[in-house]
Amino acid sequence: MTPLDAIAAAIRTVLHDTGRDAAAIAPEMLLAADLGLDSLDLAQTIVLLERSLGVDPFRAAPAVAPRPAIRTVSDLVSIYSAAIDSPRSHTP
């Protein structure tokens, strides 16, 4: 499963679980404006991604490093793709 597939599946699950439409999801879509995700939805999406992909890119990042902006599906794809390629980010 590619990061984009996993992210789209996680977003669809969160939307479905909250009674919202799980329409097509494209990389350029804005998480809030296009998909209607709020901060709690994003947190739930990240938990699902950690479980399905076996990585936590936020734990692996150094504490002093600036956190990347997460505005689009593509932002999440970039973050998770980099984490998958980094052996330090895999969760036990």
Report pLDDT for 44: 97
Domain coverage including residue 63? 3-89
Report pLDDT for 25: 94
Q: Which tokens in the block code for residue 73?
A: 């599906």
- What distances in angstroms separate CA 21 from CA 37, 54, 82, 91, 92, one per listed residue? 11, 27, 29, 31, 33
Number of domains in the chain: 1
CATH code, domain carrying 85: 1.10.1200.10
- What pTM, to 2 d.p., does this model score? 0.85
Mean pLDDT of 1-30: 93
